[in-house]
Copies of this chain bind each other. A is one copy, B any other.
Amino acid sequence: MKTDDKRPAGSATSYDVARLAGVSQSAVSRCFKPDASISEKMRKKVLAAAAELHYAPNAIARSLITRRSNIVAVLITEATTRVTPEILFQLNVALLRQGLHLLLFSITREMGHDDIIGEVLRYKVDGVIACTTLPPAQIARCRQQGIAVVLYNRVAPGEQACSVSCDHASANRDIAERLHRGGHRRFAFIAGAADAPVSQLRLQGFVQRLGELGVGEVAVVHGDLSYRSGHACMLELLARDVAFDAVVCANDDMALGAMDAARFDKLLRVPQDISIVGFDDVAAAERPPYRLTTVRQPVEDMARTVVRLLLERIADPGLPPVVTTMPGALIVRASAHIAAD
């Protein structure tokens, strides 16, 4: 085909479209700007040419001049993937809906935060969503470059950045109260690592409320939020000579492990011999073998809130940081003797 000869190998540019339509390059550019002053005739001519060449503005080149890449960096760890795999999907959907794109950065042990935030900055992202603890120095670096930062289920010391969290502490205060009202008096808590932020909050809320209710002693053991460690922690608790009849776990995976350890290894009945409560409401929690009482985080709402806060701050970088907290929903199933209301 003779007419296709001059079709360039790569993708068409605005110059190609301009040549084909017989107009200037800037006219083409204007046709792809939402509110440009342009005649209907011109618009039709240009769009026809653009369609023929499969042209769409090069987002990279555009961002160089507009100083808006429409790219948002999302930082996650493997733990995030395990606990709430849907968060990434939800964030991406919420972002795409607003015309924003998601550049993913998975944090591993070998790859430090420091290098990561450097990489993030090189891509001139419009904002950062961190589903992992971000050192204050890194937050400051973003702030300095005018990049909006929103933390997911983390809070920045000194409220240096926006954050959206589930109210872990309140939820577990409630659980403490209800277990107490359900008749329990001796408690244990299977926590995550001592420096795991969400685990800390969940533990604190639980212990604090029990203290207010006159229960001063809670047996606490630390796992790593995995099923396996929940299993091990339960066995360790049972091997001690302290009595307890309710175990609250920092997350569902550990609660499921604890439940299986109690039932299959020690032949205890749940909840007759021991009550178990988790956090997250993972898929397995509602199934017949478990029927785990737990707390569900409003993941979709949280994702949307994260994106809203980010968008506002991209539009107006002067906006002050806001710390948002959203209530979790207690899902009462069959794994614990718990007060109804």
Q: Does chain B have a CB within 8 A of A58?
A: yes
Minimum CB–CB distance from A233 to chain B (whole Å) comes to 16
- A141 CA / B283 CA spacing, docked (Å): 38
- A47 CA / B246 CA spacing, docked (Å): 59
Minimum CB–CB distance from A204 to chain B (whole Å) comes to 28
Chain multiplicity (copies): 2
Stretch at the interface among A20-28, A82-90, A172-180, A324-332: A82-90
A316 to chain B: which residues have CB within 8 Å?
Answer: none
- A50 CA / B111 CA spacing, docked (Å): 22
A6 to chain B: which residues have CB within 8 Å?
Answer: none
| A56-B122 in contact given A61-B64, A92-B106, A108-B93 (Cβ < 8 Å) | yes
Do A96 and B81 touch across chains, with their CB atoms under 8 A apart? no
Q: Does chain B have a CB within 8 A of A145?
A: yes
Do A124 and B81 touch across chains, with their CB atoms under 8 A apart? no
| Beta-carbon contacts under 8 Å, A1-24 to B | 9-11
| A64-B56 in contact given A10-B145, A104-B102 (Cβ < 8 Å) | no
Minimum CB–CB distance from A262 to chain B (whole Å) comes to 11
A283 to chain B: which residues have CB within 8 Å?
Answer: 227, 253, 284
Q: Does chain B have a CB within 8 A of A121?
A: yes
Minimum CB–CB distance from A52 to chain B (whole Å) comes to 14
Minimum CB–CB distance from A116 to chain B (whole Å) comes to 9
- A251 CA / B279 CA spacing, docked (Å): 26
Q: Does chain B have a CB within 8 A of A244?
A: no
Q: Does chain B have a CB within 8 A of A76?
A: yes
A85 to chain B: which residues have CB within 8 Å?
Answer: 81-82, 85
Q: Does chain B have a CB within 8 A of A194?
A: no
Q: Does chain B have a CB within 8 A of A98?
A: no
- A146 CA / B8 CA spacing, docked (Å): 11
Closest partner residue, chain B, to A124 (CB atom): B60
Q: Does chain B have a CB within 8 A of A33?
A: no
Q: Does chain B have a CB within 8 A of A298?
A: no
- A115 CA / B124 CA spacing, docked (Å): 24
Q: Does chain B have a CB within 8 A of A54?
A: yes
Stretch at the interface among A34-42, A287-295, A305-313: A287-295
Do A287 and B227 touch across chains, with their CB atoms under 8 A apart? yes
Q: Does chain B have a CB within 8 A of A57?
A: yes
| A59-B124 in contact given A92-B106, A102-B104 (Cβ < 8 Å) | yes
Q: Does chain B have a CB within 8 A of A69?
A: yes
Determine which of B61, B104, B263 lies in contact with A92 in the assembled complex, contact meaning CB atoms within 8 Å.
B104
Do B146 and A9 touch across chains, with their CB atoms under 8 A apart? yes
Do B88 and A104 touch across chains, with their CB atoms under 8 A apart? yes
- A57 CA / B124 CA spacing, docked (Å): 10
A58 to chain B: which residues have CB within 8 Å?
Answer: 122, 124
| Beta-carbon contacts under 8 Å, A90-122 to B | 92-93, 96, 101-106, 108, 111, 118-119, 121-122
Among all A-B residue pairs, the 7 with the closest Cβ atoms? A85-B85, A289-B289, A92-B106, A264-B288, A59-B122, A102-B104, A81-B89
